[in-house]
Structure 1
Amino acid sequence: MSASARDGAARSVKLEDQPERWTVEKSTEPFRGDKTAMRVDWLTMPGSDGPELVRREHMVHLGAVAALAVDEEDRVLLLSQYRHAVGHRLWELPAGLRDEEGEPAVRTAQRELLEEAGYRAERWYELADFFPSAGFSTERIKVFLARGLTEVPHDEIGFERIHEEADMVPAWIPLDEAVAAVQGGRLHNGATVVGVLAAAVAARDGFARLRPAD
């Protein structure tokens, strides 16, 4: 294929992920916990000699949200939190599971920003929407940008932080420094990495092209 033909083909591609579901012949659930479950599906897939039945294992996850709060000095609010599964203390955005049935994603992000960090925001925008481990998990994370921040006194929040959350350490980090930490391999939380880089791009035009959160 010539270079001009390749360029034309590239321009004709619709760069947008599309929902699709292949036929599942049977399914089992060998484990279910409080937050996740493991499912084994046998599904029909294309093969060189025709359709074949293939086993696929994946984790069923509620999904999560994260709130990237940026203040008037272009600083990002990060929380240092212990994560047992990876054996690290990670710098993260205020975040949480979508464990309230029927609650809009942005409302969950607002609740997490208040409960974990003690802030409310006047304006909310959708910053990123991604599957962190699409090969083996249904988890979907939405990251929202929060602007127009107001600190809320602890006794007005009505939420008591326990366990890992009781040990969180907050810090306001200039957005440029957070980007440098991502590029330097010093930040590892997925939502934080995606959110910080997306915010850095969006900040070029003052966040003017972001979608309002609905």
Structure 2
Amino acid sequence: MPLNLVGRLHRTVYITACPEDSQEDLLHLLLKRCGAIEAWDAVDGRLTVVFQSMNSVSNALTFHGLSFVDLSKKICVWKATDAPPAEAVQQLAIQGSSSTTEAAPAEAVSTEEEDARRAQRKERRAALQQILNSGAADIVDTSSPEGRRAKVIELCYRQLKALCVLTAAAVKDAKAELEEKKENLSRLQDLIRSQEAATKRQREGAVEPGEEAPARARPRV
């Protein structure tokens, strides 16, 4: 069933020239670089991506003209509200003609290999859809006061968590510095005690006051 794009076109982009087996990888990349994806579909070589935010569309357009997996081709990305570029029209035409010419000798293709590929693609799509659903659940609608308040609370919580981490690291460094100063002070005290003991031993080994040195023989006149 095709996607319902009513009210979504301003948040939708079309992508062509992406290898069929790499469409899920491209969606993962768009999800990380551009933002949350609300829905997607792939029909006749054209990938349709509906984002949660309009800001994601401008980021997705930066992928236009880049090579993805297949270095001999460049993907085409354009807004759903705009006319497709010339290279996209040409690619779609080639895709359509190749699909009709390949329909005749379909019996020559191993059905087991085709079924295995379809099963793998189905698993990848299910895993990707689960990721998209979990990401959509974490999105906060900031159009309402409650949504903005929830977003502010979330940001405050993140800042508080980061502050706690920085504070814990600062306390750890301060404790390490204090222990180092204590060790240096202890070494200095031991050095002072050893010097005082050495000075005391030198004084005890010297001539005690009141004792006279042995008299020398007087020379005869």
What TM-score, normalized by structure 2, do the two folds share? 0.22
Q: Whose radius of gyration is greater, 1 or 2?
A: 2
Higher RCO (CA-CA < 8 Å; seq separation 6+):
1
What TM-score, normalized by structure 1, do the two folds share? 0.23
Q: Give the number of the structure whose residues are more often helix, by fraction.
A: 2
